[in-house]
């Protein structure tokens, strides 16, 4: 596996692969890799001749008070895992390489309709940092396809809309949510959970499952469902941030006739902020008007 940390060296290697007619897949990460990340690498491997993984802890997507300095850096373990999953190249640039004028961005990429809702309401500026760094990385690597996890559904929507709006020539692939045996979605921040908190954390996914089943059974009072879900999360021992029922295509509020839905949620548990979601398809004619 090739290890590079400069844009110039990366582009030289990519040019060689392109000259050979090879398809290039890309998985952007912030390192501290777990099974969820590696499932995305496997997805890229199945779709590409060459797989590039970036490891870059992006300062512009951390909001004030968050854990940029404390974010786990596990380079040796990450590289060992990537070798096991047949990655061809790991790109690990410095902050200065990505932001030569510093991370106080002069140029920003934003998707206004998605920036300030759900996680964006609690983390102002987060998705501007995400969209900007992903746009830069896609421009640097210029892959045929890039794989992102469905666990952070809002992030995936931001990236898909950004790529479409800017006419970037890359296919965005959503990789399935990887879960621990308890149902807890895999996340680097799960390392912050104590043993006792790990017993509580699966209640977030369990609550979403209950709501999804109620929707499939014909319940259409979304306000009642989300209020009950927030109460269940709180009673389990977490501090709910949000739980909503949205349209899967664009994360706008779900309404009458919608059949493709997503139920995103976020909650605080100790030092960790957990996020999760469930996608579901209702039979036509979809949601009905509330009684």
Torsional class of 243: left (φ above 0), alpha (ψ -120 to 50), beta (otherwise): beta
CA distance 194 to 271: 9
DSSP strand pairing (145-149 vs 171-175): parallel
Report which of 148, 157, 188 is spatially closest to residue 27, judged by C-alpha positions. Answer: 148
CA distance 28 to 41: 10
pLDDT for res 291: 59
Are 36 and 185 contacting, i.e. CB atoms less than 8 angstroms apart? yes
**Range name among 69-78, 161-170, 215-224, 265-274 with the lowest pLDDT average:** 69-78
Is residue 3's pLDDT more than 70?
A: yes
Confidence of residue 67 (pLDDT cuts 50, 70, 90): confident
Choosing from 37, 85, 126, 161, the catalytic residue is 37
- Give per-residue pLDDT as tens, 197-215: 999 999 999 999 999 999 9
Q: Give Cα separations from 96 to 74, 99, 110, 120, 140 (angstroms).
A: 20, 5, 22, 26, 15
Q: Give Cα separations from 252 to 98, 104, 232 (angstroms).
A: 32, 30, 24
pLDDT for res 64: 85
Report which of 162, 21, 201 is spatially closest to residue 148, judged by C-alpha positions. Answer: 162
Report which of 215, 158, 208 is spatially closest to residue 179, judged by C-alpha positions. Answer: 208
**Within 13 Å of residue 247, how many CA atoms lie on the same side as its CB?**
11
Please state the rounded mean pLDDT for residues 282-287. 91
Question: Under CATH, to which class is 2-175 assigned?
Answer: alpha beta
Average pLDDT, the chain: 96
Please state the rounded mean pLDDT for residues 94-102. 95
Using a pLDDT cut of 70, give the percent of the chain over it.
100
With tokens 């991370």, the residue in question is 103
CATH 1.10.3720.10 fits 188-281, yes or no: no
Please state the rounded mean pLDDT for residues 118-136. 96
Cα 228 to chain center, whole Å? 26
CB atoms within 10 A of CB 107: 8
DSSP at 31 = S
Torsional class of 142: left (φ above 0), alpha (ψ -120 to 50), beta (otherwise): left
3-state secondary structure of 141: helix
Residues of the chain with CATH 3.30.1300.10: 188-281
CB under 8 Å to 267, separation ≥6 — which residues? 204, 233, 238, 239, 240, 241, 273, 274
pLDDT for res 126: 95
Please state the rounded mean pLDDT for residues 176-198. 95
Please state the rounded mean pLDDT for residues 277-290. 91
Backbone angles phi, psi at 52, to 5 degrees: -110, 130
pLDDT for res 276: 98
Cα 192 to chain center, whole Å? 18
Residues of the chain with CATH 3.40.50.620: 2-175
Confidence of residue 55 (pLDDT cuts 50, 70, 90): very high
Please state the rounded mean pLDDT for residues 129-139. 98
Beta bridge mates, 260:
281
Asked if 37 is an active-site residue, the reply is yes
CA distance 214 to 195: 31
pLDDT for res 106: 86
């Amino acid at each position: 596996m090739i290890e590079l940390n400069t844009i110039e060296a990366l582009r030289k290697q990519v040019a060689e692969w392109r000259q050979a007619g090879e398809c290039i897949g890309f998985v952007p990460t912030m390192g501290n890799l777990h099974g969820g990340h590696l499932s995305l690498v496997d997805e890229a491997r199945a779709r590409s001749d060459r797989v590039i993984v970036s490891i870059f802890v992006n300062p512009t997507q951390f909001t004030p008070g968050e854990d940029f300095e404390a974010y786990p850096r596990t380079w040796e373990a990450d590289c060992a895992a990537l070798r096991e999953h047949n990655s061809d190249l790991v790109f690990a640039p410095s902050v200065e390489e990505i932001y030569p004028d510093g991370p106080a961005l002069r140029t920003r990429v934003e998707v206004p309709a998605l920036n300030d809702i759900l996680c964006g309401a609690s983390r102002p500026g987060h998705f501007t940092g995400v969209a900007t760094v992903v746009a830069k990385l896609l421009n640097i690597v210029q892959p045929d396809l890039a794989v992102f996890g469905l666990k952070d559904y809002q992030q995936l929507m931001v990236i898909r809309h950004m790529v479409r709006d800017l006419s970037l020539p890359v296919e965005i692939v959503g990789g399935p949510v990887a879960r621990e045996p308890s149902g807890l979605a895999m996340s680097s921040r799960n390392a912050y959970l104590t043993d006792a908190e790990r017993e509580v954390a699966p209640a977030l996914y369990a609550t979403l499952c209950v709501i999804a089943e109620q929707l499939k059974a014909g319940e259409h009072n979304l306000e009642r469902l989300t209020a009950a879900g927030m109460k269940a999360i709180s009673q389990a021992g977490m501090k709910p941030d949000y739980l909503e029922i949205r349209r899967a295509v664009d994360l706008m509020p779900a309404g009458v006739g919608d059949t493709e839905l997503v139920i995103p949620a976020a909650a605080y548990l100790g030092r960790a902020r957990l996020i999760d979601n469930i996608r579901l398809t209702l039979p036509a004619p979809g949601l009905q008007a509330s009684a």
